[in-house]
Structure 1
Amino acid sequence: MRREVILTLFFSWTTHLTIGVLVFTPRLIQDVAIGNLLRYTQIQKHTVFFHPEGSDDLYVGGTNIVYRIDLEQSHLVENYSLTPTGGQNCEVIPCENIITVIEQFQDSLFICGTNAYMPLCWKVYPRVGNDSSRVMKNREGIGISPPVYSQKSLSLTVEGDLYAATNLQFRRTLGNRISVSMHDKWLTEPTFVSASWIRRREDPDQEKIYIFFREKNLDSNPDADPWISRIAQICKVDEGGPKRFLQSIWTSFLKARLACGIRGESLFFNRLQDVFVQHADDWRASQVYTLFTSSWNASAVCVYSLDEIEAVFTKSSFRGLNKEIPNPRPGVCVTNSKEIPVDTLKVVRENPEMSDWIWPLHRQAPFYVSDTPYTRITVDTVTDVDGRPHNVLLLATDKGIIHKILEDNFTPFIISEMRLHHPAPVQSMKLISKKGKLLVGFRDQVAQLDLGSCRDYGTSCADCVLARDPYCAWSGSGCAPAVLGAIQNIDGGTVDVCPQSGTDQQRNRPPSPELLGVSHVLPMGVAFYMSCPVRSYHASYTWEHEGQSSPCVAAQREPQTQEDCLQLIPAVRAKHYGTHECVSVEQNYTRVLKSYRLLPPIENRARRAWWSSVTTSLSGLALVSILCH
């Protein structure tokens, strides 16, 4: 059953426009068991994950504590107590230190928290061998951690420098280079979402840090969304301007609007929620996956090319600039930023916004639109059995549901909806790609999800191939984690790759013994239900009887409530006796899922047999009469 639900969006500009946007249905709904890595002793209001690249450790920051978990052994190694300090009056304000920042900085772990509204940072030297861990108070955390955990913040370390943003500022605050911050007039009530360092190994002096955020929309039109989503750039080598102009202020700051919407219809998803940057060896090929929500509570994923982002910053005109663009161009990376001419710096200070918007790779509409309220996004690159890479998006909701989505040539294919055995909001999420694991943080625990869980796809090659899950393949005896030599068809999803596959062969096979059911003896006039298991929400289902087909009524339900494909016979008549088959069709694969044999009572069967012999005899006499004449 292929379900393409139409989400009707209403957008009011001068008139009301009604626009249909396809929202795709998960092929399979899975109840997934999660592995518990750590159960907290108290409910956590907020958690933050940090996983050092190449390490088996996961650090989890909570309230007054940081946990260190060994992912290889799946157990807690140690924890660091970070209770509030500074002499606050705990009778007046809550004495909580909610951790918001964990970074590997220089020679230690750098941790910051709210510290009872007086942000503070610590250095932690983890235990090595038999040595005990050392926790040292380091410095005030103002500008690194917000005083209230609900205010979004971000942090990033780049070659020994710490970049951080709280509710109003993005700055380079600690490290080898001098501290640099933003100009007060560049942003309006920003909410910072993410930051990413884009490496250029062939030219390190041109490397940039990109900041993703949303800010208050100054458009007073009542139909305007209160938020606008942005991307900004700064150069890694930027050390601020000369003493007389933009001293200790970014000289390379530029910003541009991230457009995610229906092009030509003025319909946009304006509220940036989460970002995942997929880095490539050639920085130009890197892609930015962004998660947006809208004022009508829909979600969208837009994908941007870093090469096109860079083109806007290097070629677009500057909004509000009515004179010639000076040379060097504002925003370019120069080795000594203190020598940039004042004319260039004035444009950066007064007109840092690009006139051109940044549009996604899927030009006319977002890559994916849903009425599901997603909160987190991450993207994994999975190599199939033939060595080809495929992108798989993992989108989390506030209900503990994760959608696994294949990016199929700019088209989303929802492999499955994974319902975790823990229906609670997802606070944190971290992908460990090399292990095929997704770490999920809830209020009461840290859980681990195996992305290569393949058994739910079925017990046949066709079931496994139709799932189109790059993590899984048919091994000959079952659907299992993909290995070289196993059977997959990620691009097409057709079952031709399976041994003895094909529509005719599959259609003529009887259903498996557990689906055959039993014969049912039914008197005339009684009501009778027949049910058929729904194996895939992308298949179509029909009931077939005596050469007649009828649609599966229950198959029109939403997948969240559908369990079986039903067929009701309100009152049994003679025409209903015989064999009824539930048939599913998906791609080029047709099969009988269940079969019912309905029989009349014995006396009825005898009467029907007598009448059948009579009609046969009469037919024979009629034929003889015709031949004689």
Structure 2
Amino acid sequence: MRRNVPIYLVALSVVAVMGYPSKGAAMDLDATPRMTVVYNDLTSARHFSSNAQNYTTLLLEDEKGILYVGARGAIFSLNSTNIADGSHHITECYNHVRLLQRLNATHLYACGTFAFHPLCTYIDTNKFTLPTHFEEGKEKCPYDPAHGYTGLIVDGSLYTATRYEFRSLPDIRRNRQQRILKTEESPLHWLNDADFVASVLVRESMGSYLGDDDKIYYFFTERAGEESASIFDKTQVPRVARVARVCKNDIGGKKILQRKWTSFMKARLACYIPYYEILKDVYSLNNGDWRSTVFYAAFSLSAQWRSMEVSAICRYNISEVRTAFQGTYMEYQDSSRKWSQYNGEVPAPRPGACINNRARKAGYNTSQDLPNSVLDFIKLHPLMYEEVKPVDGAPLLVKKNVIYTQVAVDRVRALDGKVYDMLFLGTGNGRIHKAVVLGSKVHIIEDIQVSRVPQPVETLIISKKQRSLYIGTRSGVLQLPLSNCRRYISCFDCILARDPYCGWDGEKCRELAETPERSRMIQDVLRGNMGCLNNSSQATPVQKNRTVLRGDDVLLPCEQTSNLARAMWLVNGTEVLTEDGQGHFRMGVDGLLLTGTQLEFSGEYQCYAEENGLQALVASYVLSVLPEQLVPQLSPTMPQQSWYSPSSANGDGKFIYIAVITVLGGLCFVLSVVLLYVSCLQKRKGKYSLGVPQASSVELQTVSSNCMGKGSPEEEEEDDLGIFPDGCLQIIPGEATTLSSPSKEAPPAPPPPPPPLPAEFTNGIPTLPNMLRKMNGNSYMLLRQNEEPCTSPLYNSFTEELSKILEKRKHTQLVEKLDESSV
């Protein structure tokens, strides 16, 4: 893949220069949002969440003021005015809810995955309870929540598109009232590993003089099979964005294409880089007439561009889509296994077209009346040669380092009488880009963080009545106002934002929808720099004083609220400050840094925010640079003051010198006393005194039998110290006893030793160091051990002997209530 990156970059350049010539697209490459709003600043946001997860299916009924939310294991009914103000919910509703649509005036229709066995049901909206009976959902809902899915209920019929079963291919189906229809699977697959993202109903029958039928458009991404699909890399199978179309009243063929679509057609949806785009989401809107329908689509680069993260937004007119479906067909070539343009004869009536007045005059009232030649042609030619190109032949927006996952669009009429499209773009890391479409380009107004933890935005819905945006994520639902004009504190801010929702009324920035009287309001969406007078700008900031010594550094902060603004500094109101060659002035995003200040740097510093030809004062400072020495320097010829005479300076030096010597002498004396005391302790028979012995409440003396009553009289005298002559041990748990100093009285004689232990408990310990051991929290003092081996009949290791003694501890207990860990 790395070696193909240069090829992709060259192809990108060729496409950008030749295929899609647009100055607007070049200007908007990696467009910067004007303002950044962090999560903690969302004061007007409302949240809803519960124990459920994956709040990905939203259904808004704006007139009733209800927002239905389908999550994992629950369905909620929320107040659309304030989603945090209580809720009604249904639990135990079959895992991931994928479909939630209004069926009739009293019921909703819902489907869920139900652990890879989809189920559907009817929900009474008045009672909001689940019935006891569920329908089989294999033909209506995907078995896996990770599969792409889209569904619509149109005039009582359910139109869905997904992969329905584990071994099945992606399919577009119609269920319920009308006859069940599917796409053709053989000999050619109409869909090639398709991943569906959206479906849209267009009422083309309304006002049609041709008597046309309504159509459902499906948007998806699939593997490309065209001959030109692998122009960059022959080893890769690229994926391509598609739009498909079916007629609402299609009932399939009579003998050919029985229970199959006779109106299925698909075309490529081009945006930025042909054959290397992944469709993420599609949103449609119109002005009440289907002829004004516009589709906004969000794209990202395909897997071949692993080293780049780019998203694009394209806009398509319904007229361009209809033109593509009325163009030339493609056919599959067995020799090359690719699709190429079809140049042969096309039968009549036109294959794939809906039944209209012309077909009815020819005797074809339904799709079952179509001749076999037409049905055979449709079966082998579902793909169109013409591609659907975006408006102006180029994308509206290209943004690097971001993945757009959702798109929602609102239309707003501004003060100038023009209608602007407002885009709300959800990203893969939990942010919303609010933008306005200005002709052939996009201006991003705000970058809003809507999730504290980065997570993809799954669903976006706009409420015109509540003037709110509802955002569905894995962790919950968020309600945001479409505009927050209070965020713009000055006229310049309000005008430069170019927000069609907001206008300046002379005192503050207000929402147009909340202001009946608009005669005095100011707004400039198209240019963003007209209308504000000097006296209507923000109030003059408070002037601050800064005082530094010569040679020090000082930072003069100048915070810019706009990411598009550039800081401009003035000195004493006239001189434009620029960075000098010596590096004394350094301008940054946070302010002006002055290094190595000089006396001539003193003066008034003013920071202006310059954006789109406008300037606004942001910060003002008065800087005072003082000399390095605050006291006056007198020349040698001038008379010296008494407080600064040389004799006084010499006397101060002598005093400091004597004080230092005295302190050091005292420290040496203290160290000498400590060392003398430690030396005296070491001379007491060469041993340390461990302090006053503390008698242990319980003692257990375990002595080997072969060590009893042996040794010379001198050795017997040493028994008072607990030492046995021939390398045996006396182990005393608890506090270790200490050896008394010769000048003190000897401790009382220890109690007589216990009777000899049986031979099975005797042991010989050949080599153990003279050290203090700790076992089970008790201290043990090892008193002495000879280097000669003990002549014990049973020779075991010290660990084995202790284990035996612990196991048979009851035979060696001399005192009642012994410590459990004593040995």
Q: Does 2:121 align with 1:126?
A: no
| Equivalent residue pairs, number | 560
Structure-2 separation of matches of 1:109 and 1:510: 52
Aligned to 1:145: 141
Contact 1:269-1:292 within 8 A present in 2 as well: no
Query: 3-state DSSP class of the match of 2:58?
Result: strand
Aligned to 1:323: 344
Q: What's the CA shift string for 1:19-64, capped at 9, x where partnerless? A: 785211011112342633422124x145311123533111111122
| CA shift for structure 1 position 66 | 0.6
| 1:510–1:604 CA distance, 2 compared to 1 (3 A) | farther
Aligned to 1:251: 262
Amino acid aligned to 2:352:
G
Structure-1 separation of matches of 2:202 and 2:161: 18
| 1:196–1:543 CA distance, 2 compared to 1 (3 A) | same
Structure-1 separation of matches of 2:600 and 2:328: 73
| CA shift for structure 1 position 521 | 1.9
Please tell me whether Structure 1 or Structure 2 has the larger radius of gyration of its CA atoms: 2
| CA shift for structure 1 position 541 | 1.6
| CA shift for structure 1 position 313 | 0.4
| 1:367–1:25 CA distance, 2 compared to 1 (3 A) | closer
Contact 1:511-1:595 within 8 A present in 2 as well: no
Structure-1 separation of matches of 2:538 and 2:372: 81
Contact 1:269-1:300 within 8 A present in 2 as well: no
| CA shift for structure 1 position 254 | 0.6
Structure-1 separation of matches of 2:109 and 2:539: 60
Amino acid aligned to 2:136:
E
Q: Does 2:180 align with 1:179?
A: yes
Query: 3-state DSSP class of the match of 1:215?
Result: strand
Structure-2 separation of matches of 1:572 and 1:476: 42
Aligned to 1:103: 101
Q: 183-192 or 322-331: which moved more?
A: 322-331
TM-score (norm 1): 0.83
Aligned to 1:377: 407
| CA shift for structure 1 position 222 | 4.2
Amino acid aligned to 1:424:
P
| CA shift for structure 1 position 362 | 2.9
Structure-2 separation of matches of 1:604 and 1:511: 39
Q: What's the CA shift string for 1:64-108, capped at 9, x where partnerless? A: 211111213533441122344xxxxxxxxxxxx211111112452
Contact 1:261-1:366 within 8 A present in 2 as well: no
Structure-1 separation of matches of 2:220 and 2:343: 27
| 1:541–1:101 CA distance, 2 compared to 1 (3 A) | same
| CA shift for structure 1 position 412 | 0.6
| CA shift for structure 1 position 477 | 2.5
| 1:366–1:268 CA distance, 2 compared to 1 (3 A) | farther
Aligned to 1:543: 569
1 or 2, which has the higher strand percentage? 1
Query: 3-state DSSP class of the match of 1:280?
Result: coil
TM alignment of 1:580-591, pairs within 5 A: 580-591=605-616
| CA shift for structure 1 position 377 | 0.7
Structure-2 separation of matches of 1:52 and 1:581: 53
Structure-2 separation of matches of 1:589 and 1:48: 44
Q: Does 2:458 align with 1:427?
A: yes
| CA shift for structure 1 position 120 | 0.5
Aligned to 2:617: 592
| CA shift for structure 1 position 163 | 0.4
Structure-2 separation of matches of 1:23 and 1:239: 48
Amino acid aligned to 2:404:
Y
Contact 2:212-2:354 within 8 A present in 1 as well: yes
Structure-1 separation of matches of 2:93 and 2:207: 45
Contact 1:391-1:407 within 8 A present in 2 as well: yes
Aligned to 2:474: 443
Aligned to 2:48: 38
| 1:245–1:393 CA distance, 2 compared to 1 (3 A) | same
Contact 1:46-1:149 within 8 A present in 2 as well: no
Q: 166-175 or 108-117: which moved more?
A: 166-175
Contact 2:549-2:627 within 8 A present in 1 as well: no
Structure-2 separation of matches of 1:513 and 1:17: 48
Structure-1 separation of matches of 2:328 and 2:466: 42
Q: 47-56 or 521-530: which moved more?
A: 47-56
Match 1:333 to one of 351, 354, 357: 354
Aligned to 1:526: 552
| 1:454–1:423 CA distance, 2 compared to 1 (3 A) | farther
Query: 3-state DSSP class of the match of 1:271?
Result: strand
Aligned to 1:194: 198
Aligned to 2:359: none
| 1:549–1:362 CA distance, 2 compared to 1 (3 A) | farther
Structure-1 separation of matches of 2:371 and 2:408: 41
Amino acid aligned to 2:592:
Q
TM alignment of 1:452-467, pairs within 5 A: 452-458=483-489, 460-467=490-497
Structure-1 separation of matches of 2:128 and 2:75: 15
Q: Does 2:33 align with 1:26?
A: yes
Match 2:65 to one of 56, 63, 71: 56
| 1:25–1:15 CA distance, 2 compared to 1 (3 A) | closer
Match 1:165 to one of 161, 168, 179: 161
Aligned to 2:271: 260
| 1:331–1:538 CA distance, 2 compared to 1 (3 A) | same
Aligned to 1:578: 603
Structure-2 separation of matches of 1:447 and 1:596: 42
Query: 3-state DSSP class of the match of 2:61?
Result: coil
| CA shift for structure 1 position 374 | 1.6
| 1:17–1:229 CA distance, 2 compared to 1 (3 A) | closer
Aligned to 1:620: none
Aligned to 1:279: 286
Structure-2 separation of matches of 1:226 and 1:356: 18
| CA shift for structure 1 position 554 | 6.0
Aligned to 1:308: 320
| CA shift for structure 1 position 331 | 1.4
Structure-2 separation of matches of 1:222 and 1:597: 67
Aligned to 1:568: 593
Contact 1:163-1:174 within 8 A present in 2 as well: yes
| CA shift for structure 1 position 599 | 1.2
Structure-1 separation of matches of 2:138 and 2:246: 22
Q: What's the CA shift string for 1:332-386, capped at 9, x where partnerless? A: 1114111112222222111111111111003144543332112111111112234
1 or 2, which has the higher helix percentage? 2
Query: 3-state DSSP class of the match of 1:369?
Result: strand
Query: 3-state DSSP class of the match of 1:12?
Result: helix
Contact 1:37-1:76 within 8 A present in 2 as well: no
Structure-1 separation of matches of 2:80 and 2:475: 18
Q: What's the CA shift string for 1:378-408, capped at 9, x where partnerless? A: 1111122344321010011122210101100
| CA shift for structure 1 position 590 | 1.4
Q: What's the CA shift string for 1:582-627, capped at 9, x where partnerless? A: 12222232122112211132899999xxxxxxxxxxxxxxxxxxxx
Structure-1 separation of matches of 2:13 and 2:222: 27
Structure-2 separation of matches of 1:420 and 1:169: 34
Structure-1 separation of matches of 2:539 and 2:109: 60
Q: Does 2:104 align with 1:81?
A: no
Q: What's the CA shift string for 1:128-167, capped at 9, x where partnerless? A: xxx5645243411113211111111110111111101122
Aligned to 1:343: 373
Contact 1:584-1:592 within 8 A present in 2 as well: yes
Identity %: 28
Q: What is the RMSD of the two structures over their aligned residues, measured on CA atoms?
A: 2.7
Query: 3-state DSSP class of the match of 1:137?
Result: coil
Structure-2 separation of matches of 1:456 and 1:303: 30
Query: 3-state DSSP class of the match of 1:513?
Result: coil
Amino acid aligned to 1:247:
Q
